[in-house]
Structure 1
Amino acid sequence: MRSGTKKRIEEILRDYPKMDRYIHDRREELMFPTKSEDENVGGGKSSKISKPQEQMLITIDEDKQLKALEREQEAVEISLADSDADTNVIAEELYFKEHPKYQMDGLIEDELIYCGRTQAFQKKSKLIRRIAKEMGLYDPY
């Protein structure tokens, strides 16, 4: 896997605990946009749908940023659900905590995970590959 792809997946993992808030905030932005003053006095017909509720639903449904956030959240959720307990502990400690207490060796030494160092790093890599594959970013190189 390319290093850029791996870094992107690690960023997604770090953002995962805040993902619900990001999605909520984006929906709020779409539902309550800031109004800009229309300097076009007079003018022709608008191509917008006249019903504001329908327009809002279409806007929310078609928003690329919102869809990307939802896709990232779903990819992490599916990948964690398919992972074992040790992998979930690794993700929780290394990515989800704002101030992690442990690194990989600490997790092993304090017996928070029950595998060796090599296997722990393999589990972490497998999780990253699984998320990348769920998002369609997987690159075998």
Structure 2
Amino acid sequence: MDQIGGEANDRASKLKKPTFKHIESELYSYHETLKEIQFLRNNIMFTKENDDENVGGGRRSYISSPTEQIGTRLATHKRLNKLEEIANAIEKVYTGLPEDYRKLIELKFWSKPQIYTMDGVAGKLHVSKRQAMRWRDEIIQITAEVLGWR
């Protein structure tokens, strides 16, 4: 990612605190989000919806092909789309980061149980606590930019 370094740091202060906390929360719950996405997709694909209640005749007002119905429900499910947008942004940012930044994400946000403080993460990465916090801030800032959040 070309935003790594001082450039992203300058913009990090412009990110609203609730947005920062929200993205941080999304990073912590990334794996649960992936599970929820799969659950919603399975629920949409394998449950029967839109039974024809058109008893009086006339044309049906919905798509009759089961495959098209499932595709339409997947494409228009707001919660599923929002979760996929967030998960895709996190994955895009993660894969574009240098190895040390990815290790920070794994230690700080994805290790279960959460055993590392920022001091512990910094120690594992062999950097200062302040440097680890700058990296975290940059990761969150870049994720906000990918999501289009402010």
Which category of TM-score, normalised to the shorter sequence, fits these structures? Answer: 0.7 to 0.9
User: Contact 1:30–1:59 at 8 Å: present in 2 too?
Assistant: yes
In the alignment, which residue of structure 2 is the partner of 1:17? 31
Distance in 2 (alpha carbons) for counterparts of 1:41 and 1:83: 54
Residue aligned with 1:99, SS? coil
Pairs within 5 Å for 1:51-130: 51-109=65-123, 112-130=124-142
Shift in Å at residue 43 of structure 1?
4.0
CA-to-aligned-CA distance 1:36-58 (integer Å, 9 cap, x gap): 998x6834543111222211111
2:41 aligned with 1:27: yes
Counterpart amino acid of residue 74 in structure 1: N
Shift in Å at residue 28 of structure 1?
1.3
Distance in 1 (alpha carbons) for counterparts of 2:50 and 2:69: 17
Percent pairwise identity: 27
Aligned Cα root-mean-square deviation (Å): 2.2
Residue aligned with 2:63, SS? coil
User: Contact 2:121–2:132 at 8 Å: present in 1 too?
Assistant: no
Residue aligned with 2:103, SS? helix
Shift in Å at residue 20 of structure 1?
2.8
In the alignment, which residue of structure 2 is the partner of 1:5? 19
Shift in Å at residue 69 of structure 1?
1.6
Distance in 2 (alpha carbons) for counterparts of 1:108 and 1:134: 26
In the alignment, which residue of structure 1 is the partner of 2:145? 133
CA-to-aligned-CA distance 1:78-124 (integer Å, 9 cap, x gap): 11122222222221122112312211111233xx1032222111100
Distance in 1 (alpha carbons) for counterparts of 2:47 and 2:57: 23
User: Contact 1:86–1:114 at 8 Å: present in 2 too?
Assistant: no
Residue aligned with 1:100, SS? coil
Alignment CA distance shift 1:34-1:14 (3 Å): farther
> Highest relative contact order (Cα 8 Å, sep 6+), 1 or 2?
2
User: Contact 1:86–1:113 at 8 Å: present in 2 too?
Assistant: yes
